Amino acid sequence: MKKIGVLSVLCILVLSTIVVSGYAEEDFRTLFEAQTENQSLSETFTGESKALGDGIAYSWATLDAEGNPSAIGVNFTELSLYGLPEGELTEYILPLPEEASAAAYDHIGIDWNPKGHEPQGIYDRPHFDVHFYMIGQKERDKITATEEDMANLSKDPEPEYVPEGYVSTPGGIPRMGAHWIDPTSPEFNEQPFEETFIYGFYDGEMVFVEPMVTIDFLKTKPELTKQLKLPKCYPTEAYYPTSYSIRYAENTEEYTVSLEGMTLR
């Protein structure tokens, strides 16, 4: 809706200078109609929904006019920020809709961290870790993070599979893998942690991407979109994101955490 509105304004401005440009009005109307028609042909499919706090969360995927994934993500209602468990980490699994099969991701895991997690002084604030997993649940179960598994966790991927500037953190997490962070992120440069983006690897291969966001930042009702630092190569041919967003919609009272600008790589 917002893109169409901006396009309408641009068309009006162009039509108002038609004498200078030399184009006929019908040419611009044809261009505008074609572009809005392409936008209207995109379609969003919702996946499974689950209770999250006092609200609900559900996965979704948007396909473009050619039927290719352009964005995937999770929405959760504003009430989801309340009534959450107060103990340790709780994971909520959401399969992606089958229409997203051309994307590189299998399912979404929303991890609620009521006390945050390591490193202390950085990520020890109540927050959500939203994992977009590139492997299935059975494959995740093989990631044990035990002493016997450390060789797989510590195996570095080839440099072309790592976004420029990202570095590994020690050890790994069961059913997740090794976390790679961007040391130029605000939270590592004397600014409070609000949101960030992490890559995950196991046995030298990328297995997830992870937007992280604090409850406090969500309560500001953000409208955030950031370009991703991307690797030169990916493990398999599929659609991968070029940006991510964290948004709040007043009309639906829902938050969105999404991977956007999907391109075939």
pLDDT in tens, 102-114: 999 999 999 999 9
Interval 123-144 mean pLDDT? 97
Percent residues over pLDDT 70 in the chain:
85
Per the prediction, the chain carries an average pLDDT of 88
pLDDT grade for 48, boundaries at 50, 70 and 90: very high
Percent residues over pLDDT 90 in the chain:
83
User: Could you tell me the pTM of the whole model?
Assistant: 0.85
Interval 253-258 mean pLDDT? 98
pLDDT grade for 40, boundaries at 50, 70 and 90: low
Check pLDDT > 90 for residue 158: yes
Burial of 15 (0-12, 13-18, 19+ CB in 10 A): middle
Cα 210 off chain centre by = 7
pLDDT grade for 42, boundaries at 50, 70 and 90: confident
Provide the 3-class DSSP secondary structure of residue 146.
coil
Give the CA angle between residues 225, 120, 152 to the nearest 5°: 80
Check pLDDT > 70 for residue 90: yes
| Strand ranges of the sheet holding 195-202, from the earlier edge strand across to the other edge | 90-95, 107-113, 127-133, 205-214, 195-202, 178-181, 167-168
Residue 14: per-residue pLDDT: 36
Check pLDDT > 80 for residue 31: no
Check pLDDT > 90 for residue 8: no
Q: From residue 19, give the alpha-carbon distance in Å to each of 31, 32, 250.
A: 18, 18, 41
pLDDT grade for 41, boundaries at 50, 70 and 90: confident
Interval 177-186 mean pLDDT? 97
What is the DSSP secondary structure assignment for residue 158, as one 8-state letter?
A: P
Residue 76: per-residue pLDDT: 97
Check pLDDT > 60 for residue 214: yes
